[in-house]
Amino acid sequence: MAAKTKAMSGVALAVEGFRDEVAVVTGAGSGMGRATALLLASRGLAVAVLDRSDESAKSTVDEIVAGGGRARAWRVDVSKSKDIDRVFERIASKLGPIGYLVNIAGHDAVSPLENITDEDWSRMFAVAVNGCFYCCRAALPGMMARGFGAIVNMSSLHAIRGQAGRTHYAASKAAIMGLTKSLAREKAPLGVRVNAVAPGPIDTPLWRSGRGGGALEKDIVERVKVIPMGRLGEAREIAELIAFLLSDRASYVTGQVVTADGGEIMP
């Protein structure tokens, strides 16, 4: 669809303010990653669906293809540097040049700091921070060579305001903010924009799994009391924000961490 629009209009932009280049989305088998992959495909982009779960990645691709979109699945653990390099090479050769990257893969964990093991801490950073670094590093040479690219990284409200019981999670998401801003400054002259989103509570399998203990609905009622909009966010609402930041509609936006939290904090 995007290529057709490009040919018809004779301009470099595809539908909805996107170029006809490939979007790589990590963690695209579930939650916000899945919603983002589906949305970008619906806007005409070919999407590389990356997830550590083969089954989840394929299910996202099946839904995209059933809707007439273009996508391929890759099972990969983003914390494995060599695997990432190999997968990005394969994506470029199978789908085409990578112009868009969305780093969403991550996991949650709850523990008082004194009970966090070395392994817990390392694993949190290996997936959230190292994974983001490896994917950016793998995507950038192609983007820089073509003088075009847009990256969105996943931070969290917890990185901005802190969260008891989630020190390693919040610290890793704060690292994402530093990476995002520094990379944005470094690559702005080369045509690559880099932004991050910092969602509040979004109703996904991950959010639900981290709460409840049999009283999930009560947890939700308590949680939304401090949210002016009075509800959890939905994955598609974050996907819309990510799509905007990737698109040419945000062509003067880089180095930003955009919160989407129903008004919970207004930094």
Ligand X SMILES: NC(=O)c1ccc[n+]([C@@H]2O[C@H](COP(=O)([O-])OP(=O)(O)OC[C@H]3O[C@@H](n4cnc5c(N)ncnc54)[C@H](O)[C@@H]3O)[C@@H](O)[C@H]2O)c1
Per CB under 6 A, residues contacting ligand X are: 26-27, 29-33, 51-53, 56, 77-79, 104-108, 127, 131, 154, 156, 199, 201-202, 204-207
45 vs 154 by CB, closer to ligand X:
154
Kind of pairing between the strands at 257-260 and 192-199 = parallel
**Nearest Cα residue to 12 out of 153, 191, 170, 133:** 191
157 vs 183 by CB, closer to ligand X:
157
**In the bound complex, what is the minimum distance in angstroms from residue 202's beta carbon to ligand X?**
4
> Cα(267)–Cα(263) distance, rounded to whole angstroms?
10
Measured torsion, CA atoms of residues 30, 34, 36, 38, in degrees rounded to the nearest 10: -160
56 vs 247 by CB, closer to ligand X:
56
> Cα(23)–Cα(25) distance, rounded to whole angstroms?
6
**In the bound complex, what is the minimum distance in angstroms from residue 45's beta carbon to ligand X?**
19
> Cα(64)–Cα(94) distance, rounded to whole angstroms?
17
Our answer to whether residue 100 is catalytic in this structure is no
What 3-state class would DSSP assign to 129?
helix
CB 200 within 8 A of CB 233: yes
172 vs 254 by CB, closer to ligand X:
172
**In the bound complex, what is the minimum distance in angstroms from residue 186's beta carbon to ligand X?**
23
**In the bound complex, what is the minimum distance in angstroms from residue 192's beta carbon to ligand X?**
22
Backbone angles phi, psi at 108, to 5 degrees: -110, 160
Enzyme catalytic residues: 169
